[in-house]
């Protein structure tokens, strides 16, 4: 996977972290990503507590790539795709910062 492809995937995942829609993950035309790549990203993110949507992502990964939840299949697909997980994880986290709404300010104490 080239760096521009990884950044495109990270942007997709960052967008989804703020406005999750399982139908977009399942429809490759909507995401413009290959099924295997989406399955791999979904499986990886399903194991990342910081991302959220773990149950939905694990189901999506299994639907897109049956058996991906088995560690041997996950690692084989990792080699085929050539995605650097450290770079991908960092990119998704960084890009997600701009996508999520800012938390509401704490109320001021009343006298």
| 40-69 pLDDT per residue, tens | 999 999 999 889 999 999 999 999 999 998
Extents of the domains making up the chain: 3-97
Mean pLDDT of the chain: 88
What is the reported pLDDT for 30?
77
**Which of 26-30, 59-63, 76-80, 106-110 is most confident?**
59-63
What is the reported pLDDT for 101?
57
d(CA 97, CA 62): 28
d(CA 95, CA 14): 6
d(CA 67, CA 57): 14
* Mean pLDDT value of segment 82-97: 92
Query: Does residue 73 surpass a pLDDT of 80?
Result: yes
What is the reported pLDDT for 29?
78
What is the reported pLDDT for 103?
56
d(CA 33, CA 37): 7
Question: For residue 21, what are its two tokens?
Answer: 């829609």
d(CA 55, CA 86): 22
């Amino acid at each position: 996977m080239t760096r521009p492809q990884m950044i495109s995937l990270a942007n997709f995942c960052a967008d989804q972290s703020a406005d999750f829609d399982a139908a977009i993950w399942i429809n490759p035309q909507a995401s413009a990503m290959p099924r295997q790549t989406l399955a791999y990203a979904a499986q990886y993110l399903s194991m990342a507590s910081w991302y959220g949507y773990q149950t939905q992502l694990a189901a999506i990964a299994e639907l897109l790539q049956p058996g991906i939840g088995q560690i041997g299949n996950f690692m084989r697909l990792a080699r085929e795709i050539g995605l650097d997980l450290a770079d991908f994880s960092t990119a998704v986290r960084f890009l997600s910062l701009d996508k999520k709404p800012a938390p509401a300010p704490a109320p001021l104490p009343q006298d």
